[in-house]
Structure 1
């Protein structure tokens, strides 16, 4: 079909294709590049980019004539977060994981040298702590929750964040030696998940795994239990269910359909 004869719905879909084509590796488009990428003629690519720029979804560079993401994208993302955002997306996954494991589940995202809890569901034994977990910060060097994120960063990026930083000791089991910490990160990468038993909170043990967008970790899912809870089995028996949940949430974040996941 000639591009000029496209239906309005096809044009809208093409515009959406342009927006979702942006990534960390693809931060701007030129007209000819987009034409080749979408298999459309140059004039159609130019009209698409110009229309998106007119509404602020893209921002043209007057010198390079390349288009990067614009301020409307920020406004839409901020609105999404104010109306629940990532936390709302994770809630169902956490609820099912808590029900299946009978333990507390959390979803955390990076916050500088820490990860921050943005969603949590109590296990069958009740609250893990005497205060709500949402908003809690977990330092990079202590516990499975943070290790499941920081371990899966690019090694150079992780070292730039952590190297030379003083590490606080929270319990007798908190590791504060930088070389030993690096070994624990590498171990988590090898297994695909992290385990802690009193490193950050002496009364808690946990397993955690990274949630990814593409290949990059964007947070972690955790299954945690209080050591005084009378729960069947070892918490590490729940690793397969944890990994299923992280894959489910990663697919939701990437908006992958079942057919796309099979491919």
Structure 2
């Protein structure tokens, strides 16, 4: 089984003089969860090399403190509210928004369209920064909003960074939540679209999240970033030609490549 990028086997500091094995195992579960959208108890037991009963006890304690939650239907474990709160607090202290704000402003000046920075939170995209278009007819800022990832260019760009296996764990059902008649409504359609995103290097959306709205998005490489991040340019659908799609997509790819070193 694939281990997380921040696997404790490659420790970041010398081992403590008095290690607490149960704490170490619980922390390793959280690291594993950072690499996968959800976990099964068998995954945890295999990864830690412990009995299922031990894995169950560790998961139960993490669930008690809100660091994980269990899906009642699939019995899989996903990030809980406490873990999300910690992640957002760290993100705000690091303030990736401040680091990337100049890049959003530069894109806004170049295209005179609304630019967003967003993160992936499970199957949801959350918009954490925005610079609104100066034009009279424009896409309004989505700052603070959350939308199904499959219904946005930003979400599709972020989902394209995941493996097919992880995508299936994230979306166990064929039918997906939709926002408009143009939204991708099945997992099969989403997988096909993600292949196109990987091939192009950018994702597009045309009235899939909101009538009259189009967008182009590029995700940052996951690496050791504090969150899965992506940039998008949003504009009225009538202003986005095929040539402009390519132009914006390539420009976003250049911006992400330029900005990524600042986030490590």
TM-score bracket relative to the smaller structure: 0.5 to 0.7
Pick closer, same or farther for the CA change 1:62–1:203 going to 2, 3 Å.
Answer: closer
Give the conservation status (yes or no) of the 8 Å contact 2:124–2:146.
yes
Following the alignment from structure 1 to structure 2, what is the Cα–Cα distance between the partners of residues 177 and 65? 39
Residue 220 of structure 1, CA deviation: 1.3
Query: Given the alignment, which residue of 146, 153, 157 partners 1:148?
Result: 157
State the partner residue of 2:55: none
Q: What residue ranges of structure 1 are gaps of 5+ in the alignment?
A: 1-22, 38-47, 255-263
The aligned runs of 1:14-25 (5 Å cut-off) are 24-25=4-5
Aligned length: 205
1:225 and 2:235 matched: yes
2:253 alignment counterpart: 243
Q: Is the 8 A contact 1:104 1:127 kept in 2?
A: no
Q: Radius of gyration: which is bigger?
A: 1
Give the CA deviation at 1:244: 1.1
Shift of residue 65 of structure 1?
9.8
TM-score calculated relative to the size of structure 2? 0.64
Q: Does 1:198 align with 2:178?
A: no
Q: CA deviation at 1:251?
A: 1.7
Instruction: Give the 5 Å matches for 1:57-136.
Output: 60-61=19-20, 80-83=90-93, 85-125=95-135, 128-129=138-139, 132-136=141-145
For residues 117 and 24 of structure 2, the distance between their equivalents in structure 1, rounded to whole angstroms, comes to 40
Assess, with a 3 A threshold, how the Cα gap between structure 1 residues 226 and 27 changes in structure 2: closer, same or farther: same
The verdict on how the C-alpha distance between 1:230 and 1:185 changes in structure 2, with shifts beyond 3 A counting, is closer
Once the two structures are superposed, residues 55-99 of structure 1 have per-residue CA deviations (whole angstroms, 9 ceiling, x without a partner) of xxxx94469999x79xxxx9x977653446122222111111111
Distance, in Å, in 2 between the alignment partners of 1:64 and 1:174 is 43
Provide TM-score, normalisation by structure 1.
0.64
CA-based RMSD of the aligned residues comes to 3.7
Q: Describe how 1:4-15 pairs up with structure 2 within 5 A.
A: none
Answer whether contact 2:217 2:252 (CA < 8 A) is retained: yes
User: CA offsets per residue over residues 14-56 of structure 1, 9 Å max, x none?
Assistant: xxxxxxxxx9334325xxx87xx9xxxxxxxxxx636xx59xx
Q: CA deviation at 1:230?
A: 9.6
Residue 214 of structure 1, CA deviation:
2.5
